[in-house]
């Protein structure tokens, strides 16, 4: 019964971590949607952070097996998190945005590289700094949305050293709190998708990004 079903997390603190993830997501888009998918004792929450052109995925173990596949309001999902009880009530379903119908594959992922967390964070911080520095060099009249988007696309299309992963995925992982200190990040591939996996979540990106999407860094 979507809208009344309650999910109980197996791990202490997972409800708080989900709330933190959703809060970061909603910073960019207060009308964001989230797709919940569970088939057993693990639930995966998918969102699309605005401007990053990636999908964010956070998975959590549940106390009991659940069958669920629904798209909901991310804001309503955040409001339904009960940190004290370690649970979340599933809000009523909404009409899903186009991205919700095209998710990464569940299996078939193959490892490409393992990268230290300091390398990943350094890559994210340095490219943001370069974006700001190059933006400041532009004359005020040249700082148009088109110019900034073009610069962002140039920078975020670069890849994480030693991998084919575009830096837009690295920045999204950093912004969403998916790069915990001391934990390595793994880059994997599956079909037309690449994925950056850490202990806090993962960022998935299609190898060929659709044209016409803004990816201006925040």
What one-character-per-residue DSSP string does the chain give? -TTT-EEEBSSTTHHHHHHHHHHHHHHH-TT-EEEEEEEEEEEEEEE--TTT-SEEEEEEEEEEEEEEEEEEEHHHHHHTEETTTTEEEPPPP-PPPGGGGSPPPSS--EEEEEE-HHHHHHHHHHHHHHHHHHHHHS-GGG--HHHHHHHHHHHHTSB-TTS--BHHHHHHHHHTT---TT--EEEEEETTEEEEEETTEEEEEESSPPTT------
Residue 45 sits in which domain range?
6-101
Same domain, 172 and 117: yes
pTM of the model: 0.86
Per-residue pLDDT, 50 = 80
Same domain, 88 and 129: no
**216, part of any domain:** no
**35, part of any domain:** yes
**218, part of any domain:** no
Same domain, 90 and 165: no
For the segment 151-206, what is each residue's pLDDT rounded down to a tens digit?
988 998 899 999 999 999 999 998 898 988 887 899 999 999 999 999 899 999 99
Same domain, 132 and 197: yes
**217, part of any domain:** no
Contact 33, 47 (CB under 8 A): yes
Give, for all 218 residues of the chain, the pLDDT tens digit: 344 699 999 999 999 999 999 999 999 889 999 999 999 999 999 999 887 789 999 999 999 999 999 999 999 999 999 999 999 999 999 998 999 999 999 889 999 999 988 889 899 889 889 999 999 999 989 999 899 989 988 998 899 999 999 999 999 998 898 988 887 899 999 999 999 999 899 999 998 644 443 444 43
Same domain, 121 and 89: no
Per-residue pLDDT, 1 = 39
- CA 9 to CA 188: how far, in whole Å? 27
Same domain, 165 and 94: no
**89, part of any domain:** yes
Considering 46, 68, 101, which residue would you say is the last residue of a domain?
A: 101
Same domain, 115 and 193: yes
**21, part of any domain:** yes
**76, part of any domain:** yes
Considering 55, 84, 101, which residue would you say is the last residue of a domain?
A: 101
**118, part of any domain:** yes
Same domain, 95 and 72: yes
Same domain, 44 and 20: yes
Q: Which residues fall within 8 angstroms of residue 202, CB to CB, at 6 or more apart? A: 56, 57, 58, 173, 178, 195, 196
Per-residue pLDDT, 217 = 42
Please give the tally of structural domains in the chain. Answer: 2
Same domain, 67 and 115: no
- CA 169 to CA 187: how far, in whole Å? 11
- CA 84 to CA 3: how far, in whole Å? 20
Same domain, 93 and 170: no
Same domain, 96 and 123: no
Contact 172, 52 (CB under 8 A): yes
């Amino acid at each position: 019964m979507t809208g009344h079903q309650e999910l109980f997390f197996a791990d202490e603190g997972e409800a708080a971590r989900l709330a933190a993830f959703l809060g970061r997501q909603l910073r960019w888009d207060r009308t964001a949607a989230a797709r919940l998918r569970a088939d057993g004792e693990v639930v995966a929450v998918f969102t699309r952070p605005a401007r990053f052109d990636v999908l964010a995925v956070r998975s959590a173990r549940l106390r009991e097996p659940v069958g669920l596949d629904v798209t909901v309001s991310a804001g309503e999902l955040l409001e339904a998190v009960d940190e004290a009880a370690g649970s979340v009530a599933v809000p009523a379903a909404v009409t899903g945005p186009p991205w919700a119908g095209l998710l990464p594959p569940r299996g078939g992922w193959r490892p490409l590289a393992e990268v230290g967390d300091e390398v990943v964070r350094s890559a994210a911080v340095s490219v943001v700094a370069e974006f700001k520095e190059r933006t400041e060099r532009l004359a005020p009249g040249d700082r148009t949305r088109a110019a900034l988007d073009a610069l962002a696309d140039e920078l975020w299309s670069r890849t994480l050293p030693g991998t084919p992963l575009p830096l837009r995925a690295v920045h999204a992982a950093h912004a969403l709190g998916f790069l915990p200190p001391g934990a390595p990040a793994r880059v994997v591939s599956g079909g037309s998708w690449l994925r950056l996996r850490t202990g806090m979540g993962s960022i998935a990106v299609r190898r060929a990004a659709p044209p016409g999407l803004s990816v201006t860094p925040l």
